A = this chain, B = another copy of it.
Amino acid sequence: MINVAVLGYGTIGSGVVEVLNTNGDSINKRAGDQINIKYVLDLREFPGDPVMDKLVHDVNIILEDPEVGIVVEVMGGVEPAYSFVKQALLKGKSVVTSNKELVAKHGAELIDLAKERNLNFLFEASVGGGIPIIRPLNQSLTADEIVEITGILNGTTNYILSKMSDEGIDFNTALKDAQEKGYAERNPAADVEGHDACRKIAILSSLAFGMQVDFEDIYTEGITHISDIDIKYAKALEARVKLFASSIRENDRCVYAMVAPVMIRANHPLYSVNDVFNGIFVRGNVIGDVMFYGSGAGKLPTASAVVADVVDAAKHIGKNIWTIWSSKKLELTDVNEVENRFFVRLEQKDDSVKEQVAALFGNVEEVQCADVQGEYAFITRSITEQQMKEKKEKLNGVLNVIRVRF
């Protein structure tokens, strides 16, 4: 029997208990031993709940119990999760977590700590909810040099953008709908400003390139500036607007990373990833393009990934599963040097706007949208972020700028 302690009895914690109850037999068969939840840590009481008699309020009961082999951390946030996880590893317990803040901030250190002690620190559920992506990156794509990882990694923003596109509504109406459905928090900043996607692409990049990618270094732009007018233009272009979190290696070791809305067309593998779903596109130098798709959040999909990690930890008692993520920092390329095409919308009072654009950008692709009046819209050729920034300052009446990937 392998005793597990679950830290946090919120949505995911209760999902973990539910998954183990639902599929216990086959899970135990796959783990090669019986997985038993011995403790659930939460400050709250849950009278009448089946876990009531396993509930503890003091983490030390768990840390000091030598019978606990695996600690599942599903509290979220950096502290006290970091202290609890670190102590658990120091006490000889493997740790499974769904906590992207913790992994993005302290992943390299906790992986090393686990390695030194023949334990495991596993975090499949921290990116892409139930989608298997951490383990495939770590164990399946080992013959490749990763050239690009691009993900739709945040279900809330993908839902909002899909809703805006499907129903022609504006950002605030779509956000309200997402909040009513429970897809967005009352304070939605972490999602709509791109911070959540930023931490996730930092984790994936660190794994793909084997070095520490600090999330603070990643240029991050959210979707709050995307309007229903932008979506109309996207439709006229047979494109969709998606919040992409990308990490791209150009010429050997020069990597840049960015979270920003982009326009893509149907030929991009992530075009069909809509609503709350996530998708992760990986390009390797020999495998070519692969894509992983599924529920990026939600109680049971995320709990499924957590429990799969518990099974793996149970199968590897005393054996570390090697993860390449050194604490050596990867210096990202200055994002100003990155090239993109840009979709630009300007106020059009008269025809002088065209002359202004031609003088600044040379030949551009004009974009017509039957529904929109009083604007001049175009797509630039491929220019650097720095060039775009400088040109934007010289332009009058800029309404919006969105990167274009076609």
Question: Which chain A residues have a beta carbon within 8 Å of chain B's beta carbons?
Answer: 18-19, 22-23, 26-27, 29-32, 124, 130-132, 135-136, 139-145, 210, 266, 269, 271-272, 284-295, 298, 300-301, 303-308, 310-312, 315, 319, 322, 324
Chain A interface main SS type? mixed
Q: In the assembly, how many copies of this chain are there?
A: 2
CA distance in complex: A139, B32 (Å): 13
A291, B294: Cβ atoms closer than 8 Å: yes
Given contacts A284-B304, A288-B294, A290-B293, contact A23 B144 (CB under 8 A): yes
A303, B290: Cβ atoms closer than 8 Å: no
Question: With a CB–CB cut-off of 8 A, which chain B residues contact A140?
Answer: 124, 132, 135-136, 305, 308
CA distance in complex: A262, B183 (Å): 34
A336 to chain B, nearest CB (A): 29
Given contacts A19-B143, A291-B292, contact A286 B272 (CB under 8 A): no
A27, B288: Cβ atoms closer than 8 Å: no
B286, A141: Cβ atoms closer than 8 Å: no
B286, A322: Cβ atoms closer than 8 Å: no
A141, B292: Cβ atoms closer than 8 Å: no
Q: Which residue of B lies closest to A321 (CB)?
A: B315
B303, A286: Cβ atoms closer than 8 Å: yes
19 further A-B pairs in the complex, CB-CB below 8 A; given A130-B288, A135-B139, A143-B303: A19-B143, A19-B286, A22-B285, A22-B286, A23-B144, A29-B210, A29-B324, A32-B322, A132-B140, A140-B305, A140-B308, A141-B304, A142-B307, A143-B304, A266-B272, A269-B272, A271-B272, A291-B294, A292-B292
CA distance in complex: A286, B288 (Å): 30
Question: With a CB–CB cut-off of 8 A, which chain B residues contact A303?
Answer: 143, 286
Set B18, B287, B312: member contacting A300, Cβ < 8 A = B287
Given contacts A132-B140, A293-B293, A308-B140, contact A324 B288 (CB under 8 A): no
Set B32, B285, B295: member contacting A289, Cβ < 8 A = B295
A132, B272: Cβ atoms closer than 8 Å: no
B288, A295: Cβ atoms closer than 8 Å: yes
Question: With a CB–CB cut-off of 8 A, which chain B residues contact A286?
Answer: 18-19, 22-23, 130, 300-301, 303-304
Q: Which residue of B lies closest to A35 (CB)?
A: B143
B288, A298: Cβ atoms closer than 8 Å: yes
CA distance in complex: A135, B290 (Å): 15
A294, B289: Cβ atoms closer than 8 Å: yes
Q: Which residue of B lies closest to A310 (CB)?
A: B143
Most buried by B among A266, A285, A290: A290
CA distance in complex: A328, B322 (Å): 33
A284 to chain B, nearest CB (A): 7
Question: With a CB–CB cut-off of 8 A, which chain B residues contact A272?
Answer: 266, 269, 271-272
Q: Which residue of B lies closest to A306 (CB)?
A: B143
B144, A136: Cβ atoms closer than 8 Å: no
Q: Which residue of B lies closest to A144 (CB)?
A: B304
A149 to chain B, nearest CB (A): 14
A131 to chain B, nearest CB (A): 6
Per CB-CB distance, the 9 closest pairs between chain A and chain B, nearest first, are A143-B307, A132-B140, A290-B294, A291-B293, A287-B304, A130-B287, A142-B311, A132-B136, A30-B142
CA distance in complex: A27, B199 (Å): 27
Q: Which residue of B lies closest to A20 (CB)?
A: B143
Most buried by B among A142, A271, A285, A298: A142
CA distance in complex: A287, B22 (Å): 12
CA distance in complex: A310, B143 (Å): 9
CA distance in complex: A140, B135 (Å): 7
Q: Which residue of B lies closest to A319 (CB)?
A: B319
Q: Which residue of B lies closest to A289 (CB)?
A: B294
Most buried by B among A30, A286, A288, A291: A286
CA distance in complex: A136, B303 (Å): 16
